[in-house]
Chain A
Amino acid sequence: MRSLIDILELSVEEIDELIATANGIMADPHKYSEKCSGKKLATLFFEPSTRTRLSFEAAMYELGGHVIGFSSANNSSASKGESVADTAKTVSCYADIIAMRHPKEGAPLVAAMNASVPVINAGDGGHNHPTQTLADLITIFKEKGRFNDLTIGFCGDLKFGRTVHSLIQALSRYNNIKFILISPEELRLPDYIIRDTLEKKELKYIETTSLETAMPELDVLYMTRVQRERFFSEEEYLRLKDSYILDTDKLSNAKKDLCIMHPLPRVNEISVSVDDDPRACYFKQVLYGKYMRMALIMKLLGV
C-alpha cells in the first residue's frame, strides 16, 4: 500500500508513466470510465478548497468510482477534537483511498502512517501539494513538449507558495533548467530550498524583484497569489498582496510561445485581459490536473 505525501516520492519515470496514463485518458476517456467501479474515494478537507476537492471528486466519478467526505473541519469530528490518526483509521474502514487537505503541515503524513488505505496529500498548509505539482508538470510537458532546457520564472509569493516549492524540487531533477525567482524581498524563496535544492544540485538560478526584466527570457511563467491565510499579520498581507500584477503590457516583450501558469485561484495577480492570450495556460492546467489525479488514483489503487 502506497501513499503520496511529497512529490519527490515519485521517481521521474513514475511521473512519465502518470503523464502517459493521463494522455491515454484524454485520448479515450470511455476506456477508463469503469476503472474504479465499486471503489470509494474519501475527500477529507479540513480546510476550504474548491478546485482541488472538486478535481479529486470529478476524477473519481470519471473513473466510475464513488466519493464520500467533508469539505471543512467544522463538518467533521475534528471539531470534536478527534485526532488526524483516529480519523484516518476510521475512514480506512469506509473508503479505498483518501485525499486529505489540512491546514497543519505534516497532517497527511500522520494520516498515511495510520490509515490502512493509500493517502494522497491534497495540500498541507504551506508545505506540500504534490497533485498540484503533477498538474503543473503535465502542463509544462503538454505545452512545451519537454522538461529539459527550459527557463522557468516563478513570480509572487515564493516564500509561502507550496506549489512553487514542490515544482522547483520536481523540476530540479531534469537537465539544463534555469530558474528565475521573481518576488519582493519579504517573500523570497526560503533559504533551505535555495541551499538544499538549487545550490546542492548546482542549478542555474537568479533572484530578482523585476518581472519586466525577466520576461523576455522566460519559456514558462508561473504566477502565484499572495495568500492571506499564510500571514499572521493582516497589515503585512495588505502591504505585499499587489506586488506583481501580470497584464497585457507586461507581456509585450515575452516570447511568442511563453506558457503562463497559475495554480489558481487568482485574485488580481493576472489581469482578466490576459485570459484571451493564447499563452495563458492556467485553465488548461486545471483540466490537465484532473487527468493527472485520475492517473494517480489508478496507480495507487493498482487498477
Chain B
Amino acid sequence: MTIDAIKNGIVIDHIKAGRAMEIYEALGLADLDCSVAIIKNVVSKKSARKDIIKIDADIPVNLAVLGYIDPDITINIIKDGRVAEKKHIELPKKIYGILRCKNPRCITTVEQELPQIFKLTDPEKRTYRCIYCESKVK
C-alpha cells in the first residue's frame, strides 16, 4: 500500500497500533481542509505494529495532548519533502482543557466555566489528577 509522500507537513509516527483515531479526534484533525492520512497497523522496526498519521500542512500540534495519549510518539516536521525536525514527546506536567473531572464533589461540576487542569502526579504510572479535587483520571 502506498501513500503519497508529503512535501510540507507533519508525520506523527510510532503511534501505538489502534490509537490513531483517538489522536485524530483529540487534535481535531477532522476540522482541517488539507489531506490527512491515517495509516493503521504498519509493521514497525521499534514495535510490532504502529499507526501513522500524515498531515499535509504545517499546523500547530498540541504536544501536551499527544504526550498524554502516548508519550512514545515521534513527530517529524517535513519541509520540502525532507524531515526538517524530529520531536520526541514527554508526558506533560499539566494538561489544560482536554479532560473533564468526573468527581461529582469537585467544584468544576457546578462551575463549568472553570479551566479544567490536570497535573502529573506519578510519571511512572502516568497518573494525572484534577488540580482542584485531586481525583485521579480514570
Taking A103-B105, A106-B108 as known contacts, 16 extra A-B pairs with beta carbons closer than 8 A to each other, sorted by chain A number, are A83-B113, A85-B111, A104-B105, A104-B106, A104-B109, A105-B103, A106-B107, A106-B131, A106-B132, A109-B107, A109-B132, A110-B107, A110-B111, A125-B133, A127-B105, A127-B133
Complex CA distance for A106 and B132, rounded to whole angstroms: 4
Please give me the residue from chain A that is nearest to B134 by CB atom.
A127
Which of A85, A103, A126, A196 has the most C-beta atoms of chain B within 10 angstroms of its own C-beta?
A196
Mark A residues whose CB is within 8 Å of B.
Answer: 83-85, 102-107, 109-110, 124-127, 192, 196
Please give me the residue from chain B that is nearest to A109 by CB atom.
B132
Q: List 23 A-B contacts (CB under 8 A).
A: A83-B113, A84-B107, A103-B105, A104-B106, A104-B107, A104-B109, A105-B103, A105-B105, A105-B133, A105-B134, A105-B135, A106-B108, A106-B130, A106-B132, A106-B133, A107-B132, A110-B107, A110-B111, A110-B114, A124-B107, A127-B133, A196-B121, A196-B122
Q: Indicate which residue in A85, A125, A196 contacts B105 across the interface (CB closer than 8 Å).
A: A125
Set of chain B residues within 8 Å of A126, measured between Cβ atoms? 105
**CB-based contact A109/B131 at 8 Å:** yes
Please give me the residue from chain A that is nearest to B111 by CB atom.
A83
Complex CA distance for A102 and B114, rounded to whole angstroms: 16
Q: Indicate which residue in B107, B109, B134, B135 contacts A102 across the interface (CB closer than 8 Å).
A: B107
At the interface, yes or no: B100 with Cβ under 8 Å from chain A?
no
Given known contacts A104-B105, A104-B107, A105-B103, is B121 in contact with A110 (CB within 8 Å)? no
Mark B residues whose CB is within 8 Å of A.
Answer: 103, 105-111, 113-114, 121-122, 130-136
Complex CA distance for A83 and B109, rounded to whole angstroms: 12
Which of A102, A124, A127 has the most C-beta atoms of chain B within 10 angstroms of its own C-beta?
A127
> In angstroms, how far is the closest chain B Cβ from the Cβ of A111?
10
Set of chain B residues within 8 Å of A105, measured between Cβ atoms? 103, 105-107, 132-135
Complex CA distance for A126 and B103, rounded to whole angstroms: 12
Set of chain A residues within 8 Å of B122, measured between Cβ atoms? 196
Set of chain B residues within 8 Å of A110, measured between Cβ atoms? 107, 111, 114, 132
Please give me the residue from chain B that is nearest to A107 by CB atom.
B107
Set of chain A residues within 8 Å of B136, measured between Cβ atoms? 192
